[in-house]
């Protein structure tokens, strides 16, 4: 007989996009903070599109960053190197190349919405981060999405059917609207225990302090 896990639980809502590198960095930092504080998270992922107008064919990542943020090729390369280094320290591999592409993520968010109903949203989210950043796959491609679903124990045919039906489009739009109407304009945005908001990847120590505060108030 297994003994029940008696660690305290904190609800954490994470608004993010699967093509946001700082979102996986922030999650990895949060994960370390949870382990450090010996706390369990009731984690819920919520949709945000960094580039809702991105066309189906996507755009070269370097060109996209330079265009969107006005950075030079050198600055873009330095940013990718920094991310790669930070990711490695957290146990996550960013494998950027000159051919890396920014893609439209509306379908990915629909799949995550469907997966939530199957109780597999969290592992699917992590699988999509890996598919996009580590394996350099197109996170807007139906085959890639179905493969990611299958990798976390979901029926790939059911995943394809969920996307083909369009049944989750309105739900994703509604959730996006909910968070943007509450002032969320950048990701990752994490809401701890329904009241403490952090935006951006804030580091293990910051997340640990917020968790401590949540636990002290709960006690």
Report pLDDT digits (tens) over 166-182: 999 999 999 999 999 99
pLDDT score recorded for residue 178: 98
pLDDT at 3 over 80: no
Q: 3-class DSSP state for residue 50?
A: coil
pLDDT tier, 205 (very low <50, low <70, confident <90, very high otherwise) = very high
Alpha-carbon gap, residue 113 to 117, rounded angstroms: 7
What is the average pLDDT across 212-216? Answer: 95
- Residue 144 above 90 pLDDT? yes
The overall longest dimension of the chain from CA atoms, in Å, is: 59
* Model pTM score: 0.95
The pLDDT value given to residue 176: 98
Per-residue pLDDT tens for 113-143?
A: 999 999 999 999 999 999 999 999 999 999 9
Q: What is the pLDDT of residue 6?
A: 86
- C-alpha 59/C-alpha 87 separation (Å) is 23
Burial 28-50 (b: 16+ CB within 10 A, else e): bbbbbbbeebebebebebbbbbb
Q: Mean pLDDT across the stretch 2-15?
A: 89
Tell me: the pLDDT tens digits for 58-91?
999 989 988 998 989 899 899 999 999 999 999 9
**pLDDT (mean) for 145-150:** 98
Q: CB under 8 Å to 7, separation ≥6 — which residues?
A: 38, 39, 40
Q: Helix-strand-coil percent breakdown of the chain, rounded to 5? A: 55, 15, 35
Structural domain that includes position 149: 9-211
Q: Which DSSP string corresponds to 166-208?
A: TTTHHHHHHHHHHHHTTT--SSSEEEETTTEEEES---HHHHH
218 domain residue, yes or no: no
Contact between residue 129 and residue 23 where contact means Cβ atoms under 8 Å apart: yes
pLDDT of residue 193: 97
For residue 100, pLDDT beyond 80: yes
Query: What is the Cα–Cα distance from 75 to 203, expressed in whole angstroms?
Result: 23
Q: Is 136 left (phi over 0), alpha (psi -120 to 50) or beta?
A: left
The average confidence (pLDDT) of the chain is 96
User: According to the model, what pLDDT value does residue 73 have?
Assistant: 86
Residue 53 belongs to domain with CATH number: 3.40.30.10
In a domain, 219, yes or no: no
Q: What percent of the chain has pLDDT over 70?
A: 100
Classify 120 as helix, strand or coil.
Answer: coil
Q: How many domains does the chain have?
A: 1
d(CA 81, CA 83): 5
pLDDT at position 4 is: 79
Flag whether 1 is in a domain: no
pLDDT of residue 5: 83
| Residue 118 belongs to some domain of the structure | yes
Q: Does residue 185 fall inside a structural domain?
A: yes
Tokens 């591999």 -> residue? 93
Task: For residue 217, count CB atoms less than 10 angstroms from its CB and return exposed for 0-12, middle for 13-18, buried for 19 or more.
Answer: exposed
Which residue in the block uniquely carries the two structure tokens 């039906």? 165
- Assess if residue 16 is contained within a domain: yes
Strands 9-16 and 40-47: parallel
Tokens linked to 136: 């350099």
Give me the pLDDT at residue 23, please.
98
């Amino acid at each position: 007989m297994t003994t029940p896990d008696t660690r305290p639980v904190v609800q954490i809502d994470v608004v993010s996009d699967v093509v946001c590198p700082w979102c996986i960095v922030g999650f990895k930092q949060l994960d370390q903070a949870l382990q450090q504080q010996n706390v369990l998270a009731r984690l819920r992922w919520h949709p945000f599109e960094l580039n809702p107008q991105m066309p189906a064919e996507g755009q070269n990542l370097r060109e996209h960053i330079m265009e969107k943020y006005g950075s030079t090729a050198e600055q873009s390369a330095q940013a990718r190197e920094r991310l790669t280094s930070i990711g490695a320290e957290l146990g996550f591999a960013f494998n950027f190349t000159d051919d890396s592409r920014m893609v439209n993520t509306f379908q990915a968010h629909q799949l995550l919405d469907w997966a939530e109903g199957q109780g597999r949203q969290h592992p699917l989210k992590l699988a999509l981060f890996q598919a996009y950043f580590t394996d350099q796959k197109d996170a807007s491609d139906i085959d890639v999405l179905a493969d990611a679903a299958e990798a976390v124990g979901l029926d790939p045919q059911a995943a394809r059917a969920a996307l083909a039906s369009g049944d989750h489009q309105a739900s994703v739009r509604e959730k996006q609207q909910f968070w943007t109407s509450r002032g969320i304009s950048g990701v990752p945005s994490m809401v701890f225990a329904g009241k403490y908001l952090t935006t951006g990847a804030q580091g293990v120590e910051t997340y640990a302090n917020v968790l401590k505060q949540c636990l002290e108030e709960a006690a």
